[in-house]
Amino acid sequence: MTPKLNFYDPERRPWPHSRLERTSIVGHTTPRSVRLWFRVSSPGNYVLAVSREPLPTYGRPLVVAENDRYQLRAIASDRCEQVPTVAIAAVEMTPTTDLTGVVDLDRLEPDTLYYYGLFHPHRDRPWELPEDEPLTFRTFPETATEICFGIYSCHMPYDNRELVNIHMWDAFYRELNNANARLVLGTGDQVYVDGTPELSIWHWLRKVQDHNPSREQMVEWYRDIYRGYWGIPEVQRIFRGFPNYMMWDDHEIVDGWGSYTRDELAGVLDVSWKLRDRERHLRLAHQMFDAAKQVYHEYQHSHNPPTDDAENRFDYEFDCAFCSFFVLDMRGNHDFNRKEWGALGVQQWQRVQQWLDSHYQSDSRALFIISPVPIVHLYSFFINNIDLTLMGYQDDQRDHWEHRSNWDERNCLLDKLFEFSQETGKPVVFLSGDVHIGAAFTLSHDRFPEAKIYQLTSSGITYAELTPFGRWLLEQLVPERGTLGDRQGNPPYHFRKLAICRQNNFGIVRAIVREDGEVAIVYDLYGNDPNSPKETQKIRIEFDRLS
């Protein structure tokens, strides 16, 4: 009898909370358009309604055309209410994409609040969303003098099977609203497919690998992870209320993906009492990567700005008023075994150059580069000279831009950015996660004394694995100032640490056009207060006021 290979089992392996059934995500937004993502509870043909007025989500909805405009009528036994809509769209939800789908809306007005809802016209209880609170989104402004947004990474809120640190999502939501944030950036590890042993699909694969699980079964495992990690109401509230831009990192695939040798990757599926079957293990690992890529597209990338699937591209760019963003894919093309361009790949690097060149004469005043792994983090000596292979941390060292295998690629990127900032006067800001510490740095180089290059890191919002000693140790490995590692004879890049937070954290970034026309960058780093559970402490760094 063939055993069941389902990862999720409601009796033997239940999640410690309800799994995601239905929700929405506000995705890529412009002044006149929005991309909305949905997951629904059952297959079918749904209708999306969008209005400037709150939607009457009771009774039976009916869409009627009046004077070339659509009206939504909500009909119940005791009342009938009608609202004008600005958009009505049909969307079919099927199991092919795990009951997820996106709807693109255009011809909207800039800087305008809209209400939205989803219903199934042929059900007894038609309204799928919203379930309780109204659902809204706001389009981007065409012009502004201040843009504010949130950054976070490393959502892993499980201590064994206990759910912890969820108050950080509540605090994040509160501060986003207080700051009138325009968007939210998830800079990697929005889920952990290999978090705790009980909730790791790679632990599960090791157990069932002899039964040759299919790619389709692996896809279901990854979907189970997303439905678990995103089943938390506090997470969904941010996804539903702000434009969300996301990029994957290793834990959406497996810890250290792209930073292993082939033997090390095969070893991820080793069990101690069996001889390694290298080629079979590599085949299984790459099947898992293909499954991870499909599900990442379903749950995350599908609501980002569209990219060409034929190019196998996940990096992307977008604008919000005077700010421009380029989101790097540090995993889809990452291969430590490739001798050149092992982190980004040649084609992605060419797109970065084209994007940067286009902003020499553009109206953008500040550039942000989302690099899931930060440019500056630990001591170069520790990254490059301490062998942690026996502890299984060699992949973490190779992940870093500071690892010598990435120096040449990193230098190409920094050279281009420093030259750009020197010539234009525009600040360039790296936004990162990954490292389980929040931090802020300035970078400098003797050849580009007027360049304004910054590194802002937020990690992780709910990560629960580090002990207080582990957090303290990580903090000691982050230098106050120094130079980046480099080839002999190359003039080095310098850095200076401005702030660090070793607690769970998230960040609020402000870009402000001052009266003199210069752009100031302000970073508020909110960390969990170790002395007051469920409270946060704020560190503010104002880059235009640095001496």
For 299-333, the pLDDT digits (tens) are: 999 999 999 887 889 999 999 999 999 999 999 99
* Residue pLDDT, tens place only, 270-308: 876 555 788 999 999 999 999 999 999 999 999 999 998
* Residue pLDDT, tens place only, 389-428: 877 789 889 999 999 999 999 999 999 999 999 999 999 9
In order, the DSSP letters of 91-151 are: EEE-GGGTTEEEEEE-SPPTT-EEEEEEE-TTSSS-EEE-SSSPEEEEPPPSS-SEEEEEE
> For residues 180 and 147, what is the distance between their CA atoms, to the nearest angstrom?
9
The average pLDDT across 130-144 equals: 94
Distance of alpha carbon 206 from the chain centroid: 28
Is the model more confident about 533 or about 122? 122
Please tell me the predicted confidence (pLDDT) of residue 73: 83
Non-local CB neighbours of 166 within 8 Å, separated by 6+ positions: 157, 232, 234, 462
Mean pLDDT of the chain: 93
- pTM equals 0.96
Please tell me the predicted confidence (pLDDT) of residue 277: 85
Please tell me the predicted confidence (pLDDT) of residue 547: 43
Q: Given this structure, which CATH class describes domain 31-138?
A: mainly beta
Q: Picking from 53-57, 76-80, 166-170, 543-547, which range would have the lowest pLDDT averaged per residue?
A: 543-547
**How do the domains of the chain map onto residue ranges?**
31-138, 147-189+241-274+314-545
The average pLDDT across 153-172 equals: 94
CATH fold of 147-189+241-274+314-545: Purple Acid Phosphatase; chain A, domain 2 (3.60.21)
Please tell me the predicted confidence (pLDDT) of residue 1: 41
Conformational region of residue 68, where left means phi above 0, alpha means psi within -120 to 50, and beta covers everything else? left
